[in-house]
């Protein structure tokens, strides 16, 4: 979310599109504005199963093996699971502001 903090400093915005490294926007600004108007405040999130060629399948992808939690943690390793997915999202500013106010 650090990139959104930087975006906040640039001025007002209503929606942001979060993409993977290789994604390209194929719509014009006008088309995007129309799409966001139709969304009427809803977020648009897409999650698809990641192609096996994009991650190391021989690794263990659980929180403990990845060393996500350091030291003594109250979070159970049994409930913390990772998924290999590709994701993209169009999110409203108010949802970003809510998320950052809750996490701080």
pLDDT (tens digit per residue) in 28-56? 989 988 988 888 888 777 777 777 887 78
77-90 confidence digits (pLDDT tens): 555 555 655 666 77
**Quick one: pLDDT at residue 53?**
82
**Quick one: pLDDT at residue 39?**
83
Which letter, b or e, does each residue of 10-28 get, where b requires 16 or more Cβ atoms within 10 Å of its Cβ? Answer: eeeeebeeeeeeeeeeeee
The pair of three-digit structure tokens given for residue 14, joined into one six-digit string: 């209503």
pTM for this predicted structure = 0.48
Residue pair 85/11 in contact (Cβ under 8 Å)? The answer is no
Residue 59 has pLDDT above 70, yes or no: yes
């Amino acid at each position: 979310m650090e990139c959104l903090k930087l975006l906040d400093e640039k001025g007002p915005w209503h929606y942001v599109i979060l993409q993977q490294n290789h994604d390209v926007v194929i719509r014009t600004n006008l088309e995007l504005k129309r799409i966001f108007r139709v969304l009427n405040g809803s977020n648009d999130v897409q999650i698809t199963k990641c192609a096996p060629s994009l991650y190391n399948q021989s690794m263990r992808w659980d929180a403990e093996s990845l060393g996500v939690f350091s030291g003594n943690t109250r979070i159970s390793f049994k409930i913390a699971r990772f998924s290999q997915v590709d994701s993209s999202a169009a999110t409203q500013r108010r949802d970003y502001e809510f998320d950052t106010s809750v996490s701080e």
